[in-house]
Amino acid sequence: MSLSDDALLATQALQRLRGLRADRADRLLHKALREQRGLNLRIEQARTAVAQARLHESHQRAALLHRYQGQAVSRQMLSGWDEALRKGAAHTAQQADAWQSLLEQQSHADATVERARKQASECQRQVEKFREMLLLLAEEGACPNPQD
């Protein structure tokens, strides 16, 4: 094998490596985007759950008010009423906390997608740059340098 053949083989290997790196970066980007879409779906479900919990709590409060309207209420009834309202409020707070947690995860997922997008772009840019360099070398008839 001549020096030119060795250089050509090394250049082709480097080109494949850069192509593989770009493919991997692209796969990571698509994975991050899928995870982000899944998270967005869970966020929407959590938002809906919070809205439903608030609505249920409101209906429960209205039902209790309607039930005891115009009646003399004993301490025991007030205690039961208070307990029912606290349980509803606790459930709503729990749903809101879960939603908030997902929103915090969303900012992390957004940053991950942005990093993956930049990495994929950079890898693709390197592949294109390398391809252009090989074309220029081929046009000049020069031997490709295996260290590029």
pLDDT at 138 over 80: no
Q: Looking at per-residue confidence, does 3 or 138 come out higher?
A: 138
Query: What gap in Å lies between CA 89 and CA 115, rounded to an integer?
Result: 39
Q: Looking at per-residue confidence, does 10 or 33 come out higher?
A: 33
Query: What gap in Å lies between CA 104 and CA 126, rounded to an integer?
Result: 34
User: pLDDT tens digits, residue range 35-76?
Assistant: 999 999 999 999 999 999 999 999 988 988 888 787 787 888
Query: What gap in Å lies between CA 81 and CA 67, rounded to an integer?
Result: 11
Query: What gap in Å lies between CA 116 and CA 25, rounded to an integer?
Result: 7
Does the reported pTM lie above 0.85? no
Mean pLDDT value across the chain: 87
pLDDT above 70 covers a percentage of the chain that reads 93
User: pLDDT tens digits, residue range 85-133?
Assistant: 899 899 999 999 999 999 999 999 999 999 999 999 999 999 999 888 8
Nearest to 104 by CA among 28, 46, 32: 46
pLDDT at 32 over 90: yes
Give residue 6's pLDDT band: very low, low, confident or very high (50, 70, 90): confident
- The whole-number average pLDDT for the span 134-148 is 65
Give residue 134's pLDDT band: very low, low, confident or very high (50, 70, 90): confident
- Give residue 141's region: left, alpha or beta (phi > 0; psi -120 to 50): left
Please count the other Cβ atoms lying within 10 Å of the Cβ belonging to residue 123: 20
At how many degrees (to 10) do helices 75-140 and 3-68 cross? 160
pLDDT on residue 142: 57
